[in-house]
């Protein structure tokens, strides 16, 4: 790709911000987090209702160990009731790390001369996807820096290239995007390429802090970023992902703002975010992470549980930024999607020599570098069904998590069988004998637990077809 010099114009931001700092602060200052109030809020949440800002503030202000334990146990109960024991697996694929922004926390920022800049060409991209398929990945998120070269057409072309790569039984069935905000026409262009979710993190919802962390480049326009997913929805995309980078500002404020963002999308478009992400600031090339707002493990696990209770219908993503033990813990409090076998270095999946982390080649440091097979193995040990399911998306049932949540019996009828099918496909094509044995034992346990004879028979029949070589089996 030929890059134009670093010129850009700030896009118009006709939409206005919907975050009212004073309102959020008022709730946080006045909410009472005693056990009685917490129990009342949790009751509403367990009835699967999205919480209001004042109710979320109650949970955020709960400090006693009993109240915090109560919140975490309730999140666990809600998660099991809504999502069962499936965990969706995916991998990020960095396509280009040229960037005109200067986010002070990111290794790819424009002024970091130490960063090694790469944009994968079509052949390199294909090799990366083949390597990911060889490990059994079915769902990817393509990640881009912000640069005039990464146009909507360029992103759409990358998506089409990825979908076209088929190796053996391997194929990518859902391509999500994490890239800069686009205008409405741009979102239409990437939608036409068949993307799943478009993810944009606000980083911090606190406007003053936002300005401090984003001194230059188009990203410095807070309102343009905040309203980006409104434009995506206006353009007809219906799966959007929100997120905040925890560690830039007070974590309680950010949780409130994520819920406010959710309310806003629900109110304006009748659809909440498909996923919420809560990356925690990690070490990066020439970045000082010893910051005032660092979030402890204790606060992090608590905020995941609170988000689960606050927005019961939304997928929660925890990436390999977090270490194994934290990732394991938050699975119980509500996380529904994790990555496995992640590599951040551009070209790192295809090139085995890139096994050691190099901060100048990566956006930030990973704390969980387990292979996909190891992650699958540990999920099985924990009684979770590792899932590569993309059935809703492929059958035109958009808003997959919302379907699960809102349609009675949907999980039993569709989600559990589909997760089992994708696990069986994975075991047949990519697992060694020990993993295969362990995986089928878990499948059998879950099939046996299904009450309806007809459903059990259908699943067993389709599992046999998978063993016979049939793929992409779903209900
Ligand atoms: N460049 C686009 C953008 O900024 O929206 C695409 C995504 S960027 C490559 C992905 C996300 O990584 C950012 O939105 C930010 O939240 C996160 N990130 C950046 N620096 C980080 C760091 N040091 N630790 C953890 N996450 C980081
Ligand atoms: Fe560029 Fe995104 Fe990194 Fe900011 S977070 S410097 S926009 S890649």
Per-residue model confidence as pLDDT tens digits over 303-329: 999 999 999 989 999 999 999 999 999
Show the DSSP H helices in 51-196 as ranges. Answer: 53-60, 65-83, 122-135, 152-164, 184-192
Write the Ramachandran bin of 342: left for phi over 0, alpha for psi from -120 to 50, otherwise beta: beta
**Residue 385 near residue 86 (C-beta atoms within 8 A):** yes
Beta bridge partners of 203: 244
- C-alpha span between 265 and 263 (Å, rounded): 6
- Name the β-bridge partners of 337: 88, 317
Residue partners of 27: CB distance under 8 A and separation at least 6 = 53, 54, 56, 57, 256
Each residue's pLDDT tens digit, 28-83: 999 999 999 999 999 999 998 889 999 999 999 999 999 999 999 999 999 988 88
Q: Please give the Cα distance from 314 to 334 (Å, whole number).
A: 10
Supply the residue whose CA is at minimum distance from atom 8 of ligand 2.
145
Q: How far apart are CA 281 and CA 106, in angstroms?
A: 9
Overall average pLDDT of the 405-424 stretch: 80
d(CA 263, CA 267): 6
Ligand 2 closest atom vs CA 203? 5
DSSP H helices, 84-151, are: 122-135
CA-closest residue to ligand 1 atom 2: 179
b or e along 402-433 (b: 16 or more beta carbons within 10 Å of the residue's beta carbon)?
Answer: bbbbeeeebbeebbbbbbbbbbbbbbbebbee
In the numeric block, the tokens 């030929």 are attached to 2
Q: Which residue, chain included where needed, has tokens 């004879």?
A: 453
Give the Å distance between the CA of 385 and the centre of ligand 1: 29
82-388 CATH choice from 3.20.20.70, 2.60.120.260, 2.30.40.10, 3.30.420.10: 3.20.20.70
| Nearest CA-CA partner of 207 in 231, 225, 193, 183 | 225
Q: Report CA-CA distances (Å) from 292 to 249, 256, 289, 375, 388.
A: 8, 19, 9, 33, 38
Tell me which residue has its CA closest to atom 19 in ligand 1: 106
The helix (H) or strand (E) run that includes residue 222 is helix 222-226
What six digits make up the tokens of 207?
A: 């406007």
Query: What are the tens digits of pLDDT across the range 329-377?
Result: 999 999 999 999 999 899 999 987 766 677 778 888 889 999 999 999 9
Find the mean pLDDT for residues 443-468.
94
Is the confidence at residue 199, as pLDDT, over 70? yes
The predicted pLDDT at position 398 comes to 62
Asked whether 210 and 253 are in contact (CB, 8 A), the reply is no
Distance 183 CA to ligand 2 centre (A): 18
- The whole-number pLDDT of residue 289 equals 74
Mean pLDDT of 230-250: 96
Candidate from 15-29, 54-68, 81-95, 278-292 with smallest mean pLDDT: 278-292
> Residue written as tokens 């002070």?
104
pLDDT at position 473, please?
A: 83
- Cα 153 to Cα 158: distance, rounded to the nearest angstrom: 9
Q: What is the average per-residue pLDDT within 285-304?
A: 90
6 vs 350 pLDDT, higher one: 350
Q: How far apart are the first and last CA of the chain?
A: 41
Q: What is the DSSP string of 322-383?
A: S-HHHHHHHHHHT--EEE-S---STTTTT-GGGGS--TTTSSS--S----HHHHHHHHHHTT
Task: Report residues whose beta carbon is within 6 angstroms of any ligand 2 atom.
Answer: 99, 101, 103, 106, 108-109, 145-146, 219
d(CA 355, CA 452): 47
Ligand 2 atom, smallest distance to 217 CA: 7
The stretch 382-403 carries a mean pLDDT of: 78
Residue ranges of the domains in the chain? 21-79, 82-388, 404-467
Q: Residue 406's pLDDT is what?
A: 58
Which protein residue has the closest C-alpha to ligand 2 atom 4?
Answer: 103
**Banded model confidence at residue 402, pLDDT cuts 50, 70, 90:** low
> Measured in angstroms, how far is the CA atom of residue 2 from the centroid of ligand 2?
20
Ligand 2 pocket test, candidate residues 10, 103, 199, 248, most atoms within 8 A of CB: 103
Sign of CA dihedral 185, 188, 193, 198: positive
Mean pLDDT of the 79-100 span:
93
Q: Write the residue with the smallest CA distance to atom 2 of ligand 2.
A: 145
Identify the DSSP state of 220: G
Ligand 1 pocket list (CB less than 6 A): 105-106, 143-146, 178-180, 200-201, 203, 245, 279, 281-282, 284, 287, 321, 363-364
| pLDDT for res 465 | 96
d(CA 21, CA 269): 23
For position 1, what pLDDT does the model report? Answer: 44
Residue with more model confidence, 75 or 414: 75
Q: How far is the CA of 294 from the centre of ligand 1 (A)?
A: 16
- Lowest mean per-residue pLDDT among 1-15, 200-214, 218-232, 417-431: 1-15
Whole-number Cα distances in Å, 467 to 68, 168, 220, 436, 473 = 46, 15, 53, 12, 11
Residue nearest to atom 6 of ligand 2 (CA): 109
Compute φ and ψ for 88, nearest 5 degrees: -80, 135
- Please choose, from the candidates 416, 402, 474, 14, the residue with its C-alpha nearest in 3D space to the C-alpha of residue 239: 402
- Distance from Cα 179 to the centre of ligand 2, integer Å: 9
Average pLDDT in the chain:
92
Residue 5 has pLDDT above 60, yes or no: no
Report how far residue 475's alpha carbon sits from residue 470's, in angstroms, rounded to the nearest whole number: 14
**pLDDT of 153 strictly over 90:** yes
* Ligand 1 pocket: which of 106, 115, 360 to mutate (most atoms within 8 A of CB): 106
Which residue, 366, 280, 273, 253, is CA-closest to 316?
273
C-alpha span between 324 and 343 (Å, rounded):
15
- Band the pLDDT of 288: cuts 50, 70, 90: confident
In angstroms, the Cα distances linking 356 to 119, 337, 361, 362, 367 are 20, 25, 11, 11, 12
Report pLDDT for 17.
80
């Amino acid at each position: 790709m030929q890059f134009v010099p670093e010129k850009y114009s700030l896009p118009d931001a006709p939409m206005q911000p919907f975050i009212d700092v004073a309102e959020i602060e008022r709730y946080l200052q006045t909410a009472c987090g005693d056990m009685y109030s917490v129990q009342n809020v949790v009751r509403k949440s367990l009835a699967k209702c999205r919480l209001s800002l004042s109710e979320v503030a109650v949970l955020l202000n709960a400090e006693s160990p009993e109240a915090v334990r109560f919140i975490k146990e309730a999140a666990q109960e809600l998660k099991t009731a809504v999502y069962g024991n499936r965990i969706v697996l995916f991998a990020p694929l960095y396509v280009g790390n040229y960037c005109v922004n200067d986010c002070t926390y990111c290794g790819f920022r424009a002024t970091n001369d130490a960063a090694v800049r790469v944009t994968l060409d079509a052949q390199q991209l294909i090799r990366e996807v083949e390597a990911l398929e060889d490990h059994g990945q079915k769902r990817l998120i393509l990640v881009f820096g912000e640069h005039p070269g990464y146009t909507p057409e360029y992103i759409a072309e990358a998506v089409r290239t990825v979908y076209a790569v088929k190796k053996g039984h391997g194929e990518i069935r859902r391509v999500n995007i994490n890239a800069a905000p686009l205008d409405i026409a741009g979102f239409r262009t990437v939608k036409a390429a068949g993307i799943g979710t478009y993810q944009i993190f606000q980083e911090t919802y606190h406007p003053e802090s936002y300005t401090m962390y984003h001194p230059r480049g188009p990203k410095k326009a807070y309102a343009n970023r905040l309203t980006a997913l409104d434009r995506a929805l206006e353009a007809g995309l219906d799966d959007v992902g929100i997120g905040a980078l925890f560690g830039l500002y007070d974590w309680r404020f950010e949780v409130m703002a994520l819920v406010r963002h959710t309310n806003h999308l629900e109110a304006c478009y009748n659809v909440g975010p498909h996923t919420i992400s809560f990356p925690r600031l990690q070490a990066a090339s020439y970045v000082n992470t010893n910051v005032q707002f660092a979030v402890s493990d204790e606060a992090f696990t608590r905020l995941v549980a609170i988000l689960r209770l606050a927005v019961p219908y939304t997928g929660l993503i925890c990436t390999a930024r977090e270490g194994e033990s934290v990732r394991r813990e938050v699975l119980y409090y509500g996380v529904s999607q994790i990555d496995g076998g992640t590599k951040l270095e551009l070209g790192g999946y295809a090139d085995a020599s890139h096994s050691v982390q190099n901060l100048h080649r990566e956006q930030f440091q990973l704390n969980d570098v387990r292979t996909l097979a190891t992650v699958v193995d540990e999920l099985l040990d924990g009684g979770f069904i590792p899932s590569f399911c993309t059935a809703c998306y492929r059958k035109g049932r958009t808003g997959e998590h919302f379907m699960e949540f809102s349609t009675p019996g949907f999980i039993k009828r569709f989600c559990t069988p589909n997760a089992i099918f994708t696990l069986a496909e994975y075991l047949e094509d990519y697992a060694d004998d020990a993993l295969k044995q362990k995986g089928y034992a878990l499948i059998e346990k879950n099939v046996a637990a299904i009450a309806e004879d007809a459903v059990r028979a259908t699943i067993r029949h389709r599992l046999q077809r998978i063993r016979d070589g049939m793929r992409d089996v779903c209900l």
